[in-house]
Amino acid sequence: MAAAAGSAVAGPVGGIAAGAVGYSYGADAADKAFRTVAGANKAQRDAMKKLNRQSQKGISAADATFKMGNKAIITDKQGKERIGYAAKLTDKSGNTRTVYKHGAPKHSLQYTSSNAIERIGRTLPFLKGYYSRKDEADRAKKVADFKARASK
């Protein structure tokens, strides 16, 4: 009889706890879905851009190839050629030098793309391979086109 009295209290308490946990998971899933569909706002995109630039040391102008205007071909950390943009770096003694840094990686389009369908597609596991192949082909084409224009 004592077990029956305890289970009469534990049943509703367990149900309330399970409901709270379920609500929490549901709210997290809804929040993630909303952020995916809505995308990053301007302040968030600017913060990601700034963080990307700050995380790169930059490639010196001497190591950059195929320079044209404020752009050049640089090699990123993964050993892939990318189009880099000139940036001025000032050291502690006040000397300024030009380095080249590349833009945000394509996988950040999951948050920053203006196309909601693309943002959703980049979050789906079965489409990630498609987008990574597409991004790689786009990068290679842009580099080849830049080299062709810079060589003229």
| Domain assignments of the chain as residue spans, ordered by start | 1-38, 41-151
Alpha helices in 1-152 (DSSP H): 2-38, 42-55, 109-112, 116-123, 128-151
In whole angstroms, give the CA distance from residue 67 to residue 106. 23
| Per-residue pLDDT at 1 | 47
- What residues contact 97, with CB distance under 8 A and at least 6 apart? 60, 61, 88, 89, 91
Phi, psi for residue 27 in degrees, rounded to 5: -65, -40
Residue 119 has pLDDT above 60, yes or no: yes
Residue 63, Cβ neighbours under 10 Å: how many? 13
**Which DSSP category does 71 fall into?**
E
pTM here? 0.64
**Which DSSP category does 124 fall into?**
S
User: Does residue 141 sit in helix, strand or coil?
Assistant: helix
In whole angstroms, give the CA distance from residue 60 to residue 74. 9
For range 2-27, the mean pLDDT = 56
| Per-residue pLDDT at 142 | 93
Residue 136 has pLDDT above 70, yes or no: yes
Burial of 128 (0-12, 13-18, 19+ CB in 10 A): middle
pLDDT one-digit tens code per residue, 66-100: 888 899 998 888 888 999 888 887 878 888 888 88
**Which DSSP category does 61 fall into?**
T
